[in-house]
Structure 1
Amino acid sequence: MSSPYAPNAELRAACSRILSLHRPLEPRAWFEHLAASPYAALDIDQYGQGEAVQLLEQRVASLLGKPAAVFVPKGTVAQMAALRVHTDRRGVRTVALHPLSHIDFDEDGAAERLHHLTLLRVGNPNGPFTRADLTSLHERLGALVIELPLRQAGFQLPEWTELVELHAWATERGVPVHLDGARLWSSAPGYGRGLADIAALADSVYVSLYKDVGGLGGCVLAGEQDFIDEARPWLARHGSLMYRSFPLVVSGLDGLDRHLPRVASYVLRARSLAAQLAEVPGLRIRPSVPHTSGFQVLIDGDPHQLWDAARDLAVNQGVWLVNDVRPTAVPGISMVEVQVGDAAEDFTDEEVAGLFRQMLQQGHSGSAGP
């Protein structure tokens, strides 16, 4: 769901420094970057077949400890295909997920409108659901979806013991578990565990190739070989079997090389930055110690005025501090996200705290420019 205080793309592009995510590349620089990649020497793909695609699928399957994987240009399609296979196998169209799940919150009802799935919203907006929350369900499920981390609730992860309990609850009832792991890459260091350890608690896993690891786009869906074989026709039916995918695939492989070894450092930086911001009056961090490389900053003030102040920083100092400013359910409290990637290396924690102080002061005075 987009914010009513959404970014100005031209203004963002004009900034010399950007706090969140990875340092952006201009289109020409992307072409040069891809051309310089060793993966650019691999044979070009055609309709999902080719050396680079096969290498990417094998690599992600190995990282996740799954027998098979398939590259998909769009995560929405990958997850609908996964849920369709699971629910068809069970003969049950009901899926349990969190009410702030990306599948329910950001995809315009795709699972319900296109696949006629019944979504059961479990838990509350304050954090991930627990096994205790699932005890309120009294009907058969075709699948259980767990989003790691739960982005809309401040990039929170369930406690590891709770995640194990969720898996046990589903296993006891024969319910397949699907991990919406778009940001699973930073969930692993958040837990202090390996990717395969987490993926072992699920029957299928979706991971993004641009969130955390900075590719151009696309994702990978992983699971047992027969599950992937059954998912492929649904991927084709959704129009995701592209004639050529090599720019996405090459950038995904390159992103795994460049950023995956550094994701743990992004999580540590998120925690140190959050601690510094927590010292600024008028700011609160959610969660107080980030679980992954992302967190929310709750700010005292009106979102319109704070967004004007953020734009003022962009115009006058060339700093893109936040991607948007959102209202919350509490009047007078706004929210922004911080997602740490290599772009944050261009700032010190103290400098970021100072910039947030400026945004607060200008937002409260209403003196920011248009």
Structure 2
Amino acid sequence: MDPVEVRRSCRRFLSAPPRHNMRERLLALAARPEADSDTVDLYGDGGPVAAVESRVAELLGKPAARWVSTGVIAQQAALRTWVERTGRAVVALHPLSHLDRDEGSAYERLHGLRPLRVGDLTPYTVDDLEATGETPGVVTVELPLRYAGLLLPDWDDLVAISQWCRERRIPLHFDGARLWESATHYGWSLAEVAALADSVYVSFYKGVGGLGGAALAGDPRFLAECAPWLVRHGAQPFHSYPYALAALDGLENRLPKLAAFRQRAITLAAAIGEIDGVFVTPRPPHVNGFHVYLPGSPDALRERHLECAAEHGDWLFGFFAPTSAQGQSVVEIRVTESTAAFTDAEVVHRIGAILGR
């Protein structure tokens, strides 16, 4: 069976964003009031891009924000700017962080920065930073730490890291690709969470469902120092307004739904966690997503998942990854609008079928 064809034939998707026709999506964006303006952005300045920057700065409680075409570039510019200011080309990061696993070692290969890897399988603490015996040029925290199961640090630990950095005048940068989903867990506003960091990166195509794009938020001086690195990375296309319109739409219509998505994730994780031989982490979930450990190899589970999807028209998982435990695989579930098509009991039944029960 062709996985692409099977997926295309499915009617329900547990973790995927809502399916849309490109024409319908573009027409919906064209119907937004901002699209009536003749003022468009030029190389990231003006038009709806400026509206996105203003809204992000307001939501995060920062003096300013800067549109960036991709999150990878946003983070490279932020790290390079901070270490040039501190004079220490050392980046404290978690070994499971996106910076260390998914960006092709860009901070090392392109900028000559040295990683100071802190922690192991869970978010690190001040004690972990102290144990390194080094003074980094910048400290980074990913909220949430995706590869650890979309885990967030305890609030007190996050506050302590912020205080530790400020006492030593070390910049603290939040990799907030999923920051929009994180505030509910803490019970604080986005601005109160972001206030702990000197700079914050946020994404527009994950939690808020945009077409792409990202933003850096911080003080104007920091953003001005980032600007040359954004240019050097080619981060500012001639026009970005379609992406900016989608970001505005997501911040207006998708952001308010994330708390409800997390509540559904809590009940769904609890139901799945009752399946014999299946392990869920974290339990309860910190955001609208969580990891599920299943007995079986990735190849065997992938084949069985494909068979069940072809039979029932339900697509549950995007990937099956190996783990350090022999005979066990991990999948990720993210609750979105499409998850509402399933009851918890149906998901449990489908997972049981994949496990051959």
**TM-score, normalisation: structure 2:** 0.97
The farther-off stretch of 342-351 and 35-44 is 35-44
2:337 equivalent to 1:342? yes
Aligned-residue offset at 1:276: 0.7
SS at match of 1:296: strand
**Aligned counterpart for 1:281 among listed residues 250, 257, 276:** 276
Structure 2 residue 98 is the aligned partner of structure 1 residue 99: no
Counterpart of 1:232, as a letter, is A
SS of 2:28 mapped into structure 1: helix
1:265-310 deviations in whole A, cap 9, x for unaligned? 0111110100010111121101121011110000011211111111
Contact (CA 8 Å) 1:21, 1:212: kept in 2 or not? no
Letter in 2 for 1:100: L
Residue number among 252, 272, 289 corresponding to 2:247 in the alignment: 252
For 1:12 and 1:85, locate their aligned partners in 2 and report how far apart those are by CA, in whole Å. Answer: 43
Q: Which residue of 2 aligns with 1:367?
A: none
The residue aligned with 2:312 is: 317
Partner of 1:266: 261
The yes-or-no answer on 1:215 pairing with 2:210 is yes
**Equivalent-residue separation in structure 2 for 1:189 and 1:40 (angstroms):** 31
Distance 1:49 1:82, change over 3 A: same
Deviation, structure 1 residue 191: 1.1
Q: Which residue of 2 aligns with 1:366?
A: none
Equivalent position of 1:163 in the other structure: 158
Could you tell me which residue of structure 1 aligns to residue 47 of structure 2?
A: 51
Matched, 1:194 2:194: no
Aligned residue for 1:90?
86
- The residue that corresponds to 2:222 in the other structure is 227
Aligned to 1:305: 300
Residue 133 of structure 1 and its aligned partner are, at CA, apart by 0.6
Query: When the two structures are superposed, what TM-score results if normalisation uses the length of structure 1?
Result: 0.93
Question: Distance between the aligned counterparts of 2:112 and 2:210, measured in 1?
Answer: 32
Matches within 5 A, 1:3-152: 8-42=3-37, 43-125=39-121, 127-152=122-147
Residue 181 of structure 1 deviates from its aligned partner by 0.5
Secondary structure of 1:361's aligned partner: coil
**Structure 2 counterpart of 1:108, one-letter code:** G
How much has 1:136 moved relative to structure 2? 1.4
Please, which of 328, 343, 351 is the counterpart of residue 323 of structure 2? Answer: 328
- In the alignment, the residues of structure 2 paired with residue 173 and residue 180 of structure 1 have an alpha-carbon distance, to the nearest angstrom, of 20
Name the SS of the counterpart of 1:115 in structure 2. Answer: coil
Are the aligned partners of 2:210 and 2:243 in contact in 1 as well (CA < 8 Å)? yes
Asked if the contact 2:176/2:201 (under 8 Å) is kept, the reply is yes
Report the Cα distance in structure 2 between the residues aligned to 1:38 and 1:345, rounded to whole angstroms.
29
Q: Which residue of 1 aligns with 2:168?
A: 173
Question: 1:236/1:8 Cα in 2 relative to 1: closer, same or farther (>3 Å)?
Answer: farther
Structure 1 counterpart SS, 2:356: helix
The one-letter code of the counterpart of 1:103 is L
Counterpart residue identity of residue 51, structure 1: G
In the other structure, the counterpart of 2:236 is 241
* Stretches of structure 2 lacking an aligned partner (at least 5 in a row): none
Compared CA separation, residues 52 and 345, structure 1 to 2 (3 A): same
Summarize the Cα distance change of 1:11–1:232 in structure 2 as closer, same or farther, 3 Å threshold. farther
RMSD: 1.3
CA distances 1:128-151 after superposition (whole Å, capped 9, x unpaired): 001111111222211000000000
Percent identity of equivalent pairs: 46
3-state secondary structure, aligned to 2:132: coil
Q: Residues 214 and 88 from structure 1, CA distance in 2 versus in 1: closer, same or farther, beyond 3 angstroms?
A: same
Letter in 2 for 1:164: V
Aligned partners of 2:47 and 2:241 also within 8 Å: no
The total of aligned residue pairs comes to: 355
Alpha-carbon separation, structure 2, partners of 1:129 and 1:172 = 18
CA-CA distance at 1:10 after TM superposition: 4.4
Aligned to 2:354: 359
